[in-house]
């Protein structure tokens, strides 16, 4: 059995394209921090917890070593939003050739959605994509930041990207396997 999934690819081609969201009020307890120590355990937790209800499955079978190799790539960055010390979501930046940076993954854990954190996290992560070369000597200046979202993602994903200044450049629809996905980092109960 399969399901039809539409994927939209969006881009910014200049730092001035970014339209940041409002910053959470002082004292809100929201902060965004770079995950400076590459941790397969933590990255898998974020991926599985944020992506479960959106059917993120491509990395669920990755081994510890594959996660480590992925996280150790020069220019790869994970930025984590915290709400009073609790991980609320993340944005993962994937450096590519010729000054291109993909926002590979972005999202919030379900308990933190609908509170204005997503716009702030996406704004912050996109700004970090634009200034990535300043943190990675030898890396070309960013010329393009892109992201993809799909019909399985949250109902506000596309609007958030567009509000932040991303423009649509490609749309594709394909059939994908319809398979059970764990809810968060926990196994599927049978």
Under the banding of pLDDT at 50, 70 and 90, the label for residue 155 is confident
The position carrying tokens 């490609």 is 170
Under the banding of pLDDT at 50, 70 and 90, the label for residue 190 is very low
Helix ranges (DSSP H) in the chain:
40-51, 64-71, 117-130, 157-163
Residue 11 pairs with which residues in a beta bridge?
146, 167
Distance CA 110, CA 89 (A): 9
The matching CATH number, chosen from 3.30.43.10, 3.40.630.30, 2.40.50.140, 2.40.30.170, for 2-177 is: 3.40.630.30
Segment (H or E) for 50:
helix 40-51
Q: Is the pLDDT of residue 140 over 80?
A: yes
Residue 174 pairs with which residues in a beta bridge?
5
- What pLDDT is stored for residue 139 in this prediction? 93
Quick one: average pLDDT of 149-157? Answer: 87
Quick one: average pLDDT of 5-23? Answer: 95
Question: Which of the 8 DSSP states describes residue 69?
Answer: H
Distance CA 190, CA 82 (A): 32
Query: Please, are residues 67 and 108 in contact by the beta-carbon 8 Å criterion?
Result: no
Q: Is the pLDDT of residue 92 over 90?
A: yes
Structure pTM? 0.92
Under the banding of pLDDT at 50, 70 and 90, the label for residue 124 is very high
Query: Please, are residues 139 and 95 in contact by the beta-carbon 8 Å criterion?
Result: yes
Q: Which are the contacts of 1, defined by CB distance < 8 A and separation ≥ 6?
A: 177, 178
pLDDT > 70: percent of the chain: 94
Quick one: average pLDDT of 70-82? Answer: 97
């Amino acid at each position: 059995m399969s399901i039809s999934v539409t994927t939209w690819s969006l881009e910014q081609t200049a730092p001035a394209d970014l339209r940041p969201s409002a910053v959470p009020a002082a004292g809100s307890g929201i902060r965004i921090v770079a995950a400076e120590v590459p941790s397969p355990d933590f990255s898998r937790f974020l991926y599985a917890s944020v992506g479960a209800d959106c059917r993120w499955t491509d990395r669920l079978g990755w081994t510890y070593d594959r996660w480590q190799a992925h996280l150790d790539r020069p220019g790869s960055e994970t930025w984590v939003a915290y709400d009073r010390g609790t991980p609320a979501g993340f944005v993962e930046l994937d450096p590519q050739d010729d000054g291109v940076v993909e926002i590979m993954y972005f999202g919030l854990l379900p308990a933190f959605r609908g509170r204005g954190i997503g716009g702030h996290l996406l704004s912050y992560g996109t700004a970090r994509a634009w200034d990535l070369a300043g943190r990675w000597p030898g890396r070309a200046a960013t010329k393009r930041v892109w992201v993809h979202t799909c019909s399985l993602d949250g109902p506000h994903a596309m609007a958030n990207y567009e509000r932040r200044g991303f423009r649509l450049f490609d749309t594709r629809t394909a059939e994908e396997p319809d398979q059970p996905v764990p809810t968060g980092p926990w196994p599927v109960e049978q």
